[in-house]
Every structure is written in C-alpha cells, then in structure tokens.
Structure 1
Amino acid sequence: MTHAPPGSATRLTRPEASPAASIARSVRDADHAVTSLRDFHAWLAEYRDADQSDVRRIPFTELKGWRFAEAGGNLVHDSGRFFSVHGLRVRTSGPVPCWDQPVINQPEVGVLGILVKEFDGIPHCLMQAKMEPGNINGIQLSPTVQATRSNYTGVHGGRRVPYLDYFRNAARQQVIADVLQSEQGTWFYRKRNRNIVVRTTDEVELLEGFRWLSIGQLHALLAVDDLVNMDARTVMSCLPFTGPPSADTRATADDRRSPYPPQGEPVRSALARSMNPGHGALHATSRVRTWFTDARVEHEGRADLVGLDAIRGWHRSAERISHETGLFFDVMAVDVRTGSREVGGWTQPMIAARGQGVVAFLVQRIGGVLHVLTQVTSEPGFMDAVELAPTVQCTPENYSVLPAEAMPPFLDEVLHAPADAVRFDTVLSEEGGRFFHTRSRHLIVEIPPERDLGEPPGFRWLTAHQLAGFVQHSNYVNIQARSLLACLHSLLRQTRGDRP
C-alpha cells in the first residue's frame, strides 16, 4: 500500500457533519413536513382499501417448492435458498437447562435500508406501505428497502427491488448509519440484517406505495398499533439522535449546546439530558462495556442445529408443528396472493406465536437524568451468546409450564403499573415476512425517583445515550430493545402522537 508523501496535493477526507441537529428539529416539530399526518393516514387508508392481497393458512402438503427433507425432516426450499426450518437443541445453565425447538435458519444477510432526503432543512425518510403475509392488518409501514439476499438477487424471478441501488452502492451517498444487527434469537438461528440509513441529495422518483415522512412524524406514528413494522423500528433505532455540538448556522443556540434542550415536562427533560453525554451517567460506559463482555465470557450454554424430526416435545400434524403443551409457537404454512410485491403469489412456512409478547423498559430519573434498566440475556439463536435486552421480554402465558425461578423479574412491576407511570403503551407487530400475526405490547414505565430498585444480577441502569451508542455495534443490543429504543426516542416529542 502506498501513501502520498508529506506536502503532496492529496486531499484528506474530513469528518462529515453530524445530522443530529436536523434530526432534533424534525423530532421537535413533526408538523414541519412535506405532507401532514392527516393526509398520510388518508393515503394509507386508501392504499389499504385498494389492496387485493389474500393470505390463507394451508396444510403443509399444499406448499409449492417446499418439502420436508428425507434426511432429518427439515423443511427446505427446492432452490436451496430463502430459508429453512430446522430443529435446535439447547443446553444452558439457566432455570430451564435444556430444551428442543424448531428454528428458522436463514444464513444470508438481508438489507433493511431507509433513504433520507432533506426538505427545507428537515430530514425526511422514504417509507413504503408494504404487504407482508404475517401482518395482522395486511399493510404496514416499512423501510425504503426490506429485502433478503434471495429476493434482491432475483431467486424468486420477480420484479427488481425499488431503490436498492442507493444501499448496494451506498459509498456514493452520505451514510448516516450502517451496522449488522441481529434478529429474533428465539426464532432465528444466527440471523443478521444490514441496517443502513443513507442520505441523498438526488432527485428521487416517488413510486407508488412510497411516501416521504419526517423523522418526527415517524416517531409520532409509533403510537399507532401495528403501523410501523419491526424492520422500520430497528433501522430507526440506528439514527444518530445525539452527536457533537452542531456547527450548522441554521441551528439555534440550544441546538449547538444540545440537540434536545431539557425543558418541558419532567420525563422529557430527563430524557433530553439522557441523550446528552455531558450530563453524566450512573455507570461509566467503559465499565458497562466490561460488565457486558464479562457476561459473554462467563455464559455457559450451546445451541446446535439438529434434524426437525429429532426435536423432543414437538408434534407435526397436517397443518402445524406445535409443542405438546400447546404453548410457545407453531410452525405453519400460508398461501399468498398479492399484486403489490415483486411476485404475485407464493407459499411459505411461517412461525405463529401462541400469546402476545410483552417487551418493556423500566425508566427512572437518576440525578435528573433518565436511565433505562437493561439486562443481558441469552437467546439460543444469538451469534455472540448474549445481548442487551429490555427490562422485561417474555410471553407471560408460557410461564405456566416453566419453573417458578424462570419468571422474569419486574414483570408484575410492568403489567400492574399505575396509568400515570406509563409513558408508552402500544401493540406492535413482529416482522411479517416470517411471523404470522405475532405481536408484542411495547411499554415504557417510569419508576418514581425515590424508589430504589437496585440492580439485580444481569441488570444495569444505562442512559439513552449509552444504549444508543451500543446500537452502533453489531450484536450488542437485541431487536426488542432496539424497537423500544425507537419508542423511547418518540417521547422527545411534545405530544404522544397522532392517530387516524
């Protein structure tokens, strides 16, 4: 490798300006946008009414292009691509020391990308109204691009994925965020997607089914049940909500000091301080990183792929693979007919959870700075043993057949919180391409400053800035915590959100 000699005309790349100040303006003023939320809801309602998609559950024998392999019984696609359903054998040192289960094996890395463009100095995101077979309401708001490698390389033989070139050739644009992130470790085996946000100054053709929404509007829409899909939420969590002091001449003095001036109602003020590293934290970030790395090193357990025929406690009928207790989840199949996707119809297996999940952050003002109680948790499909997770992440019904010591700490604190302590409460869907009508209640509950919950083993109080910093690294923060982080950012707005 050669380097230019000192004093040569080589031009060095300078750091790009942080978009945090413009993001802050958008969050504080969601009305400053190219379209109103009222008009967006009207457009979405019209788009849903026009959708002629049909999804029906089918027996496994009606799957086309899929089969149970003779050796091992795994559910595989004839092309050898897309994904497959395997068995997983888990050994751990936790309260449930061993179990078997089905798991989705999809080793390819997909693209989840949001294209950003500024209008009148306010960043807007190009979002897609996308039909997914598992969506309980058909169409939800998804990123600009949401595609597996099999899809965007054309294995299905369908139309090209719109706007994909902005992300496959991202070096030509300003990249705001770009990180490999894990998927649901309970149902995926070592699955990761590229979460990428790209800012462009190009003139962008607005295709059917797409709309520009400001970042503030997107966070307002998180308050609507089953609207902003999981893939959009995980990419939103990667947005840089804080950064170095702004040199933007359009920014106010408050913008230059902090993107979110600590004023207004107490929780918003405390959250604004939590977004600013200058206000401090209960634990130094270096100590948190050491605590987290220790948890990875000390984790004992393993998860091995096995044949689907070999898993114990699960039974296959004509229409589903289910657990003998009737709990946890099913593997089932659907037939899809649609005119709004790259192909007009297909069949596929899916996972359908039994029961609605609960994912929750407990938050508390510590020294005037909002802190989030996070935990390190292991899921059998994680690539790196453990990741940071919400305070509570579970499906409560499942614990009727599990040991008492497996019950999540703080579950009662979340489910029985007084109404005036609940800062966010919305039911949001899991990813609709693989999970059928699977949803989780997202909660953010504030604990009064005078209460001392302590830090049980495996838990730490982190600021929003620290948690957002860990999101910039692969396999640090799980998808449920990233989804909740996007919801937490929405509390920076003046209002709780606009509903249709």
Structure 2
Amino acid sequence: MSVPVHPDRAGIRSWIDEAGRSLGIRAEQVPLSALDGWETHPAAGAIRHRSGRFFSIEGLDVRRPGHPVSHWQQPIISQPEIGMLGILVKRFGGAPHCLMQLKPEPGNWGGLQISPTVQATRSNYTGVHKGAAVPYLDHFLNAARHRVVTDVHQSEHGSWFLRKRNRNMVVEVTEDVEAVPGFRWLPLAELRQLLHVDDLVNMDTRSVLSCLPQRAPDDPSAYPSAYPCAGVLAWMARGRARAGMTVERRPLGRLEGWRRDTERISHESGRFFDVIGVRVQAVGREVDRWDQPMIAPRGVGVVAFLTTRVDGVPHVLAQLRAEPGCADTAELAPTVQCTPGNYDFLPTAARPPFLDDVLGADPRSIRFDTVLSDEGGRFHHSRSRHLVVELDERAERPERPGFRWLPLGQLHALLLRGGRVNMQTRSLLACLSALARPTDTTAW
C-alpha cells in the first residue's frame, strides 16, 4: 500500500479557524432530571421528548444462549425514523469535489468536524424543532434532475441504536452551487487524506464515503465491478439463524446491573457507558438552544481490520457480529470491534478474538492508525482507534468460527445492498481509501 499524500493542512486549518468565528457549540452536562422538554414515561420508564418526536432512551433485555455473556440488560436509543446523510459532488477540472460543512455537535471531541453536505434526522429536516431550513436538502429529496451516484439505507451503531437507519446518498451536479458560510468544496482525494487526522472527519462522512464507487488502492484489476456474493450471503443467513439472540423491551428504571439517580444512568461496574443529560447552546445551527440525553461511553474503542493479499487481491478478515439494535440480528463487522477496558469485567472467554494480535502488531505492519470520533449528535466524546494491520501475503491466514476472509470488492458489493455491513466496517473502508496515492484524479 502506498504512502499517503498529505493535503493542504494549512488551508484546512484556516477554514476551521474562520468557521469557528461563526459556528460553535457549548455543551454543559446537567442532571437527567433537569432536562427541559424531556420526561420519564411512568410505565415504560423511558426518557422521551414531550413532542413525541426526535428519540427516546429505552431499556432492553438481551439473551444469547451459549454465548460467553448469555444475558444482559442495557439502555438503548430508540429513533424509529430514517435520517438523511448526503454529499453533493461537482467536478472541477475533471476532478470530483465534495461540498462539505464544518458542523458542531454537542458530543464532538474537539468541536467542529467535517460533515456531509446534509446530515439531518427526519425530525430536523421536516421542521419539528421549528428551526431554520437545512441547506442543500432539496438536492437530495428531489435528486431526479441530477446524477445519483449512490443511494442506500445503512445501519447505525447496533449496540447503542435500536434498528436505526440512515439514507446514505451521493448526488453529482453540473450546475453552479454556491458554498454558503461554513461549507467548502473539497477535492475528494484531499478529503480522503484528512482521514489521517484525529477526530476531524466525522462518522457520517465516513459512512457516505464508503458507499462511493470503489477505487483500487494499488491495482485497479484487483477490484472487479462486482463479485459473486451468493456464498457469503448464505454464510450470513446461517450465522444469523444460529445467533439465537432475543431482544425485548424492559422498563428503563428497572434494568439489572444499572442504577439511575437524578444525575445519570450508569452500570454498577463503572464500565460500558453512561446516559447523561446535556444542555446545549449553539451558534450557526438550525436551533440555538436545546436539552437532550446522550450516551457517554467509558473508554476509547478499537476497530481494526486484519488485511492480506490472496493472489495479489486485497482481502480483509470480517466477522458476522450480532448486536441487540441490529435490524437483521447481525451484520459484517471489522476483525476487532470493542472497548478493551470493558473486558476486564467480563469472562475471559468473552475477550474478542484477534484483539491481542491487533494491539500487539509489529509497527511495520500497521498501515493505518488514527483515532476518529463517533456520531456527536447522540454520543458524548465517543471515539475509536481505527487500525489496519497488514499480514505478509505468505503468512498463515487465521480464521475462527464466525469470521471470514473477504475480497475488498466483495465486501463493497455487499455494502451497496444495504443492511449487511455495519457502521464500524464502513468507517474502516473509508479509511482504506486514504491509503492510496491517486493516479487518476478524475476517478472516484
């Protein structure tokens, strides 16, 4: 894999500094009991907005017989609506450029992050919050007059969102589109290289970038336009059937192992995550003030691919991972997806396979290593170390039940079917696109 090309960091920094003078957010932690506009449902114990819209925090009971952790309960975000994540693309000098915005979110680590052209829940863009209109939204809701590059529904975090999906779109325009304050046309190649910067390119941008037509890291012949997927789909169907996961709602205030006081909801072990209250004051957002609950994880996560080449073709080791919020039980996940500190509390058998291989990898085999933030609208300071570790082509390729080596082209073909590739995998696939030196700046 090639050495990355570094973008104009000085230009990006000046853009961030300039935007920071007109955009900003201040998130102050407050007790859950003090959240304005939110109430606890007397029967379900769920935390809900008085409007009945936006989202709620509910309780789940999860059972997986035969699994190292066979039963647990937890809070989860329920948001039964499909949001919009869209990137507008236009070619300048033949090279694709993306219209990106610097967006402050209450949970962002470090403030402003590079976000899609449109990043909005349905409640937001239909005006439930009675705020300003979402810029550029019409280009996606009425996209027929433009070229739709990709349009697919994808999942959110299956551990913290209950069956949540977003519409991921890329729309290419030929007309002139002015970048309003806070927005900027970035070359696609430069945007990909910015993935090497900690906590700069947000999670939703990474998800949409992963849905773009594929660009080979080194050898275009290694990425045919489509791979036969029948065998993998059958393997996934068998794995989903064997997962044996049952999920039922439970009153939020009576979850085993969790305690709730006026301040927060937290696990009695001090691990996993908290549900906290946040009071937000914002400049340059559709609404300038609001309260909300958020999930605040304990510790920095790790998401990682083991990669290798098989007959010269890049492959990644993926796992079929069942999560309680997943609409179809399980999706393709990275080789490793966890928060390592959580496993100090769990049985030894629950420790994720390949975690020690990734964390103890020879530095010379690490192709990508950057800490990137999760979604800042619902998660408070949630971050994961993104790692790509390349095995020697001649080395043994380890496998375990529930894991499978997949050609990158096949994984991407499955991604474009929607509902099969989880958020963390899509994030890592976007990172893989940052590893190549583009030889053709007009290509995706």
Structure-2-length-normalised TM-score: 0.94
Matched, 1:223 2:167: no
Larger Rg: 1
Name the SS of the counterpart of 2:186 in structure 1: strand
Check 1:190–1:52 CA distance in 2 against 1; reply closer, same or farther (3 A cut).
Answer: closer
Partner of 2:406: 462
Question: How far did 1:274 drift?
Answer: 3.8
1:354 corresponds in structure 2 to 298
Residue number in structure 2 paired with 1:255:
none
- Deviation track 1:455-490 (CA, whole Å, cap 9, x = no partner) reads 211111111111111110121000000000000111
Distance 1:440 1:69 in 2: 33
Deviation at 1:236, TM superposition (A): 0.4
Aligned letter for 2:196?
Answer: A
1:338: Cα distance to partner? Answer: 1.1
CA–CA distance in structure 2, aligned partners of residues 177 and 51 of structure 1: 30
Match of residue 154, structure 1, among 127, 142, 148: 127
- Taking the aligned partners of 2:24 and 2:182, their CA distance within structure 1 comes to 14
Cα distance in 2, alignment partners of residues 130 and 185 from structure 1: 24
Residues 140-167 of structure 1: per-residue CA shift (max 9 Å, x gap): 0000000001000111110000000011
Distance, in Å, in 2 between the alignment partners of 1:48 and 1:464 is: 38
- C-alpha offsets along residues 34-76 of structure 1, whole Å, 9 cap, x if unaligned? xx55322211133235544311101123211001111121100
1:76 to 43, 48, 53: 48
Letter paired with 2:12 = F
CA distance, structure 2, for counterparts of residue 29 and residue 393 of structure 1 = 28
User: Structure 2 CA distance, aligned partners of 1:73 and 1:299?
Assistant: 29
Structure 1 Cα separation of the partners of residues 139 and 108 of structure 2: 27
SS in 1 for 2:239: helix
2:130 maps to 1:177? no
Cα drift, residue 454 of structure 1 = 3.0
Distance in 2 between residues matched to 1:189 and 1:476, nearest whole Å = 16
- 2:381 and 2:245 map into 1 onto residues whose CA distance is 31
Match of residue 236 from structure 1: 209
The residue number in structure 2 matching 1:417 is 361
**Selected match of 1:314 from 245, 252, 258:** 258
Offset, 1:440: 0.2
User: After the TM superposition, which residues 24-63 of structure 1 pair with which residues of structure 2 at under 5 Å, given as runs?
Assistant: 36-48=8-20, 50-63=22-35
Amino acid at match of 1:275: Y
Q: Does 1:89 align with 2:61?
A: yes
2:183 is matched with which residue?
210
Deviation larger for 36-45 or 416-425: 36-45
User: In the TM superposition, what whole-angstrom CA distance separates every residue of 1:402-427 from its partner, at most 9, and x where no partner exists?
Assistant: 11111111101100111110000000
Equivalent residue, structure 1, for 2:93: 120
Q: What does residue 450 of structure 1 align with?
A: 394
Would you say the 8 A contact 2:74–2:255 is kept in 1?
yes
Q: Report the more deviating stretch, 309-318 or 103-112.
A: 309-318
More strand by share: 2
Whether the 8 Å contact between 1:30 and 1:215 is mirrored in structure 2 is no
- AA aligned opposite 2:177: V
Separation in 1, partners of 2:201, 2:328 = 28
Aligned counterpart in structure 2 of residue 192 of structure 1, from 165, 168, 186: 165
Partner residue in 2 for 1:145: 118
How far apart, in 2, do the equivalents of 1:177 and 1:100 lie? Answer: 37
Give unpaired runs (5+ residues) of structure 2.
440-444
Residues paired across the two proteins, number: 436
User: What residue is the counterpart of 2:73 in the other structure?
Assistant: 100
Decide whether the 8 Å contact of 1:72 with 1:310 is kept in 2. no
Aligned residue for 1:163, secondary structure, equals coil
Where does residue 3 of structure 1 map in the other structure?
A: none
Measured against aligned partners, the alpha-carbon deviations of 1:331-382 in whole angstroms (never above 9, x if no partner) come to 0011111111001110100000001000000001221222100010000000
On the 8 A contact 2:22/2:283 being kept in 1, the answer is no
- For 1:380 and 1:273, the matched residues in 2 are separated by 38
Q: CA deviation at 1:297?
A: 2.6
Shift in Å at residue 311 of structure 1? Answer: 1.1
Letter matched to residue 223 of structure 2: M
CA shift, 1:315, in A, is 0.3
- Tell me the TM-score normalized by structure 1: 0.84
- State whether structure 2 residue 62 is matched by structure 1 residue 67: no
Q: In structure 2, which of residues 277, 284, 288 is the aligned counterpart of residue 344 of structure 1? A: 288
Instruction: Classify the secondary structure of the residue corresponding to 2:213.
Output: coil
> Alignment partner of 2:144: what SS?
helix
Which amino acid counterpart does residue 226 of structure 1 have in structure 2? D
Aligned to 1:53, the other structure's residue is in SS state: strand
2:109 is aligned, of 113, 117, 136, to 136
Query: Residues of 2 paired with 1:214 and 1:295: CA distance?
Result: 40
> For 1:275, which of 223, 243, 246 is the aligned residue?
223
1:114·1:127 contact (CA, 8 Å) conserved in 2? yes
CA distance, structure 1, for counterparts of residue 189 and residue 307 of structure 2: 22
1:227 Cα deviation (Å)?
0.3
Deviation sequence 1:296-341 (CA, Å, 0-9, x none) = 2332111112221221110012211000000000000111111110
Q: SS in structure 2 opposite 1:475?
A: coil
Q: What's the Cα RMSD here?
A: 1.9
Q: CA–CA distance in 2 between the matches of 1:52 and 1:96? A: 42
Q: How far, CA to CA, are the matches of 2:375 and 2:358 in structure 1?
A: 24
Counterpart of 2:249 in structure 1 is 305
Question: Does structure 2 retain, via aligned residues, the 8 Å contact 1:376–1:389?
Answer: yes
Q: How far apart are 1:452 and its partner, in Å?
A: 0.9
Q: 1:390 aligns with which of 317, 334, 348?
A: 334
2:442 is matched with none
1:477 and 2:421 matched: yes
Deviates more, 1:396-405 or 1:430-439: 396-405
Letter in 2 for 1:456: R
Distance 1:272 1:425, change over 3 A: farther
Aligned to 1:330, which of 274, 282, 287? 274
Which residue number in structure 2 is paired with residue 6 of structure 1? none
| C-alpha displacement of 1:89 | 0.6
